[in-house]
């Protein structure tokens, strides 16, 4: 079952994969409820929807803040809450939340996006421990800068100096690894970015200084300008 807001793209993908397309806007609570009703019992949930939500925080309207929180954090939690009872009863199943390395390291012009991805990571890892021994797995998959498709690629921005990108196919492979090997956390990024994100998560001041030196703030600023209309 494939879901998203873009009907034409969904239907094309459903035709290619033999899947079923169900359009839904996760910013709308009614859309979330209708999707849950349409889905029924689920063996594997891959929650991948998100809004860019980057830019100077004071540039967001209250409505835009609410929409970012709804799509990036509240909807994945609501979907998980809906599909878990059947999984737990069957003692099998898996939930994958697609987060971001922005859920480990904070950046200028990404405070709202950081908030949603830090929250999603905490929810996934905490729930995983809660479900230990139940037969149901929970994973968080965290890509870095993704080329060719997605929010970063759509902006045309360049990654910070010395940082490389990954492909959509690598992200998909990370999701499969998370499910098949029941991994708690899969970071899909080149080695240098994985190291920096680990250090940055442990030492925020170090991360902030490094991002300034590598022009990370400028990358986020470029992304925020390009994504302004997607709020």
Enzyme catalytic residues: 113
Residue 187 β-bridge partners: 142
Positions of E strands within 74-126? 93-98
Please state the three-class secondary structure of 186-203 as a single string. Answer: EEECCHHHHHHHHHHHHC
User: φ, ψ for residue 135 (rounded to 5)?
Assistant: 90, -5
Please give the Cα distance from 189 to 80 (Å, whole number): 26
What's the token pair of residue 197? 């994100």
Please give the Cα distance from 91 to 70 (Å, whole number): 29
Please give the Cα distance from 216 to 156 (Å, whole number): 15
């Amino acid at each position: 079952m494939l879901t998203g807001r873009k009907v034409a793209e969904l239907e094309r993908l459903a035709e290619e994969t033999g899947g079923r397309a169900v359009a839904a806007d996760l910013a709308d609570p009614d859309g979330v409820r209708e999707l849950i009703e349409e889905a029924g019992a689920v063996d594997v949930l891959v929650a991948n929807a998100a809004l860019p939500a980057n830019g100077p925080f004071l540039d967001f309207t209250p409505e835009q803040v609410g929409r970012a929180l709804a799509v990036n954090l509240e909807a994945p939690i609501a979907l998980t809450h809906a599909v878990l009872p059947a999984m737990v009863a069957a003692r099998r199943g898996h939930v994958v939340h697609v987060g971001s390395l922005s859920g480990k390291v904070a950046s200028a012009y990404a405070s709202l996006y950081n908030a949603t991805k830090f929250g999603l990571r905490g929810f996934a890892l905490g729930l995983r421990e809660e479900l230990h021994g139940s037969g149901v797995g929970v994973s968080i998959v965290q890509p870095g800068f993704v080329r060719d498709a997605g929010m970063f690629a759509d902006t045309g921005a360049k990654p910070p100096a010395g940082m490389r990108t990954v492909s959509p196919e690598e992200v998909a492979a990370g999701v499969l690894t998370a499910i098949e090997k029941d991994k708690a956390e899969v970071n899909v990024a080149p080695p240098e970015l994985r190291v920096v994100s680990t250090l940055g998560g442990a030492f925020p001041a170090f991360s902030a200084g490094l991002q300034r030196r590598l022009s990370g703030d400028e990358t986020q600023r470029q992304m925020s300008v390009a994504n302004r209309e997607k709020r």
